[in-house]
């Protein structure tokens, strides 16, 4: 029998045999052998990239700027550069296929590692798949959109409407030049007829010839008008003063000589330092029945430099556009290849980054899993060597500290276990001593635990109250007190709960279940442990019936002795009467006169 609830005092025995120390190497990529292996692994990829990127650049360059020479409609290839571009596109395709195969090696290896369920490979495969998935969807969408945009842009670039516009522009430029040449030739013939009609080639009419030439130059907006004799002597020369001498000084002798020899009009276009000069020569004949030429009229028409540049630019652009259009398919293929290479490079970057991150996570986690299994088998001498500064490194360091703490805790726990065994023996001895004291003490002892159940009721309590302990132990306190009419105990228990004091003392009478009337001295106290937490209440009570009887007998005996003594002394009645009169007078009693008469009568 004990005052406190029983607690288990089982102790665990730990083996003192220590397994051999086990240390795990993290296998981080910084190791020299791993670094060399990685370099050999990625060397083919870098070689293909080094060869592929210049090929792509050359493809785009030759497709855009490498075209030279005129187009050859009757040839299989439109131009010599076309074969070079096709060859570069072929090399680009081979490089793209090789790069794709090289990049797929890691994925194939990760697939087979996951299939064989190697430790840590499943998580790494999932992580790599997540990186590839996150990069694949936007990359493929971007590649599709870029391919569509490239196709649309190239189709717009090489649209037939643009071809028609450029061809029409070139035709307009040629028509303009032909029209200027025709107009100049007509003007030359008109002036030669005017000279023939006026007959002003004679020396005495030179001033008139110059005046007519000046009028013709102003009327037809010509750059210049010149008249030559059959001996190629200049008879009259009228030039536009706004034009520079570099333009007007272009040679005209060959043109005049050709007209004098053939007798037919002739036109030519001469390139000037600035602009172009269109010249037309017409013979001056005497009459229609003879072929004799009396002179030559040369008419010059100036085309401004801006207009010449625009006409040449139109012709050049049209020729370049025809050459570029012949490369439409290679350009489109090269653009598609470039998009494909960029897509593969993005996927390669995502794959490489996924493997890099996964390796930095899964390798330490794999070592942690192995170390955890070793700890589960009882080996606490596990130490994981990791060269990392991130959260994984912190986790591994925490694991190493945990194993060190477990080793220390195990040693301390074994010591505490031995000390606990000794303490349990001492506690058992003390409990046995306490139970012996409670069993043999003359006072009654009743204890209540924190659940409100009676846990202790010693033999002295059974003797005083007349109730067996088995009828009270384990029962709720209120039910037990009510069943056996222990009102004094109930009153003290309620007062203890209400006042929240450490102890309550109470004396009173109570009737036992067998009908005895007892005078009981009761003391109830709180039970607390070393930490000051409540464990319940304990009642200590004793039967004071005989003691009270003895006290009462002694008190009556003393009273009787005092009464006998007081009766023998005559001053006592007088003192009592005077005290009574003083009391009534101080109280202003209404019957004071009657009391006074009685006291003095």
pLDDT of residue 564: 64
Q: What tokens appear for 532 in the block?
A: 């000051």
Average pLDDT over residues 334-352: 75
Instruction: Give the CA angle between residues 330, 327, 340 to the nearest 5°.
Output: 25
- The larger pLDDT score, comparing residue 289 to residue 214, is at 214
The mean-pLDDT minimum among 22-26, 103-107, 431-435, 465-469 falls in 22-26
State yes or no: pLDDT of 108 exceeds 70.
no
Residue 535 burial (10 A CB sphere; 0-12, 13-18, 19+) = middle
Q: What tokens appear for 390 in the block?
A: 């991130």
pLDDT of residue 13: 39
In 3D space, the residue among 109, 103, 105 whose CA is nearest the CA of residue 52 turns out to be 103
Average pLDDT value for the chain: 75
* Ramachandran bin of 452, using left for φ above 0, alpha for ψ from -120 to 50, beta for the remaining angles: left
- The larger pLDDT score, comparing residue 453 to residue 72, is at 453
pLDDT of residue 257: 86
- The larger pLDDT score, comparing residue 423 to residue 114, is at 423
pLDDT of residue 571: 62
- What are the structural domain ranges in the chain? 28-160+322-376, 173-313, 441-552
State yes or no: pLDDT of 56 exceeds 50.
yes
Q: How many residues does the chain have?
A: 601
State yes or no: pLDDT of 24 exceeds 60.
no
pLDDT of residue 12: 39
CB-based contact 492:510 (threshold 8 Å): no
CATH fold of the domain at 173-313: Beta-Lactamase (3.30.450)
Burial 94-119, CB ≥16 within 10 A → b, else e:
ebbebbbebbeebbeebeebbeeeee
Residue 10 burial (10 A CB sphere; 0-12, 13-18, 19+) = exposed
* Range 52-57 contact pairs with CB under 8 angstroms and sequence separation of 24 or more: 52/92, 52/95, 52/96, 52/99, 52/341, 53/341, 55/88, 55/91, 55/92, 55/95, 56/92, 56/334, 56/337, 56/338, 56/341
Cα dihedral 392, 393, 399, 405 sign: negative
Average pLDDT over residues 463-489: 85
What does DSSP assign to residue 471? G
pLDDT of residue 6: 44
Q: What tokens appear for 531 in the block?
A: 């930490």
State yes or no: pLDDT of 149 exceeds 70.
yes
State yes or no: pLDDT of 46 exceeds 80.
no
pLDDT of residue 340: 77
Average pLDDT over residues 96-105: 70
CB-based contact 297:282 (threshold 8 Å): yes
- Residues facing residue 225 across a β-bridge: 238, 299
The mean-pLDDT minimum among 132-141, 167-176, 347-356, 442-451 falls in 347-356
What does DSSP assign to residue 2? -
The pLDDT-based confidence of 19 (bands split at 50, 70, 90) is very low
State yes or no: pLDDT of 285 exceeds 60.
yes
The residues, any chain, with a CB within 8 Å of residue 200's CB and separated by 6 or more, are 208, 209, 212
* HEC assignment per residue over 396-417: HHHHHHHHHHHHHHHHHHHHHH
Query: Residues 325, 326, 332, 337: what is their CA dihedral angle, to the nearest 10 degrees?
Result: -140
What's the CA gap between 145 and 163, in Å, rounded? 27
The model's pLDDT over 510-568, given as tens digits with 9 standing for 90+, comes to 888 877 888 888 889 888 887 888 888 988 888 887 777 777 777 777 776 776 666 65
CB-based contact 184:191 (threshold 8 Å): no
Instruction: Give the CA angle between residues 48, 53, 59 to the nearest 5°.
Output: 125
CA 149 to each of CA 146, 177, 342: distance values in angstroms, whole numbers, following the listed order: 5, 40, 15
Tell me if 173-313 shares its fold with 441-552. yes
Please report, rounded to a whole number, the percentage of residues in the chain having pLDDT higher than 70: 78
3.30.450.20, 3.50.50.60, 3.20.20.140, 3.40.50.300: CATH of 441-552: 3.30.450.20
State yes or no: pLDDT of 505 exceeds 50.
yes
- The larger pLDDT score, comparing residue 261 to residue 571, is at 261
Highest mean pLDDT among 227-241, 244-258, 567-581: 227-241
The pLDDT-based confidence of 64 (bands split at 50, 70, 90) is low
Count the neighbouring beta carbons within 10 Å of the beta carbon of residue 481: 21
In 3D space, the residue among 440, 442, 462 whose CA is nearest the CA of residue 546 turns out to be 442
Cα dihedral 274, 280, 281, 287 sign: negative
């Amino acid at each position: 029998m004990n005052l406190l609830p029983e607690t288990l005092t089982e102790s665990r025995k730990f083996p003192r045999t220590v397994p051999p120390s086990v240390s795990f190497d993290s296998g981080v990529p910084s190791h020299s052998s791993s670094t060399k292996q990685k370099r050999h692994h990625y060397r083919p990829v870098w070689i293909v990239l080094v060869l592929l990127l210049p090929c792509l650049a050359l493809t785009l360059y030759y497709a855009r700027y490498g075209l030279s020479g005129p187009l050859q409609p009757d040839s299989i290839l439109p131009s010599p550069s076309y074969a070079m571009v096709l060859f570069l596109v072929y090399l680009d395709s081979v490089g793209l296929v090789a790069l794709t195969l090289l990049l797929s090696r890691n994925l194939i290896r990760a697939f087979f590692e996951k299939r064989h369920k190697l430790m840590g490979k499943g998580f790494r495969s999932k992580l790599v798949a997540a990186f590839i998935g996150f990069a694949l969807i936007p990359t493929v969408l971007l590649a599709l959109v870029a391919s569509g945009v490239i196709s649309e842009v190239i189709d717009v670039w090489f649209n037939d409407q643009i071809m028609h516009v450029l061809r029409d522009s070139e035709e307009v430029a040629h028509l303009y030049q032909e029209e200027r040449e025709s107009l100049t030739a007509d003007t030359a013939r008109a002036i030669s007829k005017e000279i023939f009609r006026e007959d002003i080639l004679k020396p005495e009419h030179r001033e008139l010839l110059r005046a007519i030439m000046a009028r013709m130059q102003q009327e037809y907006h010509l750059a210049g008008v010149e008249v030559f004799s059959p001996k190629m002597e200049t008879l009259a020369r009228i030039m536009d003063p706004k034009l520079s001498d570099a333009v007007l000084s272009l040679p005209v002798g060959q043109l005049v000589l050709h007209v004098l020899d053939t007798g037919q009009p002739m036109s030519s276009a001469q390139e000037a330092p600035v602009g172009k000069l269109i010249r037309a020569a017409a013979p001056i004949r005497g009459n229609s029945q003879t072929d004799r030429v009396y002179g030559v009229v040369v008419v010059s028409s100036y085309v401004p430099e801006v207009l010449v540049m625009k006409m040449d630019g139109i012709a050049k652009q049209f020729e370049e556009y025809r050459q570029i259009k012949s490369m439409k398919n290679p350009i489109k293929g090269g653009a598609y290849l470039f998009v494909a290479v960029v897509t593969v490079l993005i996927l390669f970057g995502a794959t490489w980054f996924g493997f890099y991150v996964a390796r930095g996570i899964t390798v330490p986690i794999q070592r942690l899993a192995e170390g955890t299994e070793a700890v589960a088998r009882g080996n606490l001498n596990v130490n994981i060597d990791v060269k990392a500064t991130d959260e994984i490194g912190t986790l591994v360091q925490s694991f190493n500290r945990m194993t060190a703490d477990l080793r220390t805790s195990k040693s301390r726990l074994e010591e505490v276990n031995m000390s606990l065994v000794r303490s349990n023996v001492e506690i058992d001895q003390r409990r046995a001593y306490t139970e012996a004291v409670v069993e043999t003490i003359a006072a009654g002892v009743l204890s209540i635990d924190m659940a409100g159940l009676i846990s202790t009721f010693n033999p002295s309590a059974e003797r005083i109250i007349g109730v067996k302990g088995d009828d009270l132990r384990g029962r709720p306190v209120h039910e037990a007190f009510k069943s056996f009419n222990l009102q004094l105990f109930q009153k003290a228990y309620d007062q203890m709960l209400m006042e929240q004091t450490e102890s309550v003392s109470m004396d009173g009478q109570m009737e036992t279940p067998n009908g005895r009337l007892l005078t009981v001295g009761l003391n109830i106290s709180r039970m607390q442990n070393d930490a000051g937490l409540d464990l319940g209440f304990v009642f200590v009570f004793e039967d004071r019936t005989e003691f009270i009887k003895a006290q009462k007998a002694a008190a009556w005996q003393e009273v009787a002795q005092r009464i006998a003594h007081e009766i023998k002394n005559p001053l006592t009645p007088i003192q009592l009467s005077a005290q009574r009169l003083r009391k009534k007078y101080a109280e202003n009693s209404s019957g004071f006169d009657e009391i006074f008469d009685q006291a003095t009568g």
